[in-house]
Amino acid sequence: MKILFVLENYLPHIGGVEIVFKNLSEGLVRLGHDVSIITHRLKKTKEFELINGVKIYRVNCFNSRYWFTFLSIPKTIKLAKKADLIHTTTFNGAPPAWLASKILNKKCILTIHEVWVKRWDKLTEMNWFSCKIHDFLERSIYSINFDKYICVSKSTQQQLLELGIKEEKTAVIYNGVDYEHWKPERYSGKEIREKLNLDQKFVYLFSGRPGISKGFEYLIKSVHLISKNIPNSKLLAIVSRDKAYKKRYDYIIN
């Protein structure tokens, strides 16, 4: 089968969704499928690249995922002509994928990681107007008809049903885990504990970006309570050093 993924972000852009689709696309290649990805082009990346059997096409979008919604349309339609199935995800990749599917009469799947309708003001730091615009745009995505809606949790599925999506058009498929990568026997916990001076400590871990939707600031504020109840505990946070997050770190710490 020839499968086209329409994704606003993909590697080397770092994020959980990018890893999900890396594992999915490369796994499909190993099963014998022909897989292509169209995504927005980051600085210093190639327009076309073949990585682990996956064909990656990048569209110049002035380094903005928002422009990807519009500027990717011609390339998406061109690539979709040869595809048996189009697979996209929220948010910015959904409109061009849907449009190509309707023009070419192709099946199109939408994966939803989370529903933010009525929550943009709580899960982001956008102003009132931006929240209203994003809420409207997200609702617009759910108002157009996809052939199947893949939900990564029961909670996400329930939120979609509340927005009027028919249950028979939804399916819950949890994000996969690469068990070859996450084999405990491949790594030495003792070695990293000694390196970070964590030997004999109770370690709890956070890994991710410090965005407001991740709740990192609540974890930081809770450290003193955890330490009070578990005196020998340490928080190990694996976070980005990207300069774009500096203000966010300053806010969380202060």
- Confidence tier at 245 by pLDDT (50, 70, 90): confident
What is the number of structural domains in the chain? 2
Q: Are residues 40 and 148 in the same domain?
A: yes
pLDDT at 161 over 80: yes
Span 136-159, pLDDT tens digits = 999 999 999 999 999 999 999 999
Residue-level pLDDT at 244: 64
For residue 16, pLDDT beyond 70: yes
Asked whether residue 167 falls in the same domain as residue 199, the answer is: no
Please indicate, yes or no, whether residues 82 and 158 belong to a single structural domain of this protein. Answer: yes
Tokens (6 digits) for 99: 């449009």
Q: Residue 217 has what pLDDT?
A: 87
Q: What's the pLDDT band for 222 if we cut at 50, 70, 90?
A: very high
Q: Are residues 125 and 245 in the same domain?
A: no
Listed residues 148, 172, 196: the one ending a domain: 172
Query: pLDDT-based confidence at 242, cuts 50/70/90?
Result: confident
Predicted confidence at residue 252, as pLDDT, reads: 75
Residues 145 and 64 in one domain: yes
The predicted model gives 108-125 an average pLDDT of 93
pLDDT tier for residue 191 given thresholds of 50, 70 and 90: confident
Looking at the fold, whether 8 and 89 belong to one and the same domain comes out as yes
Range of the domain at 16: 2-172
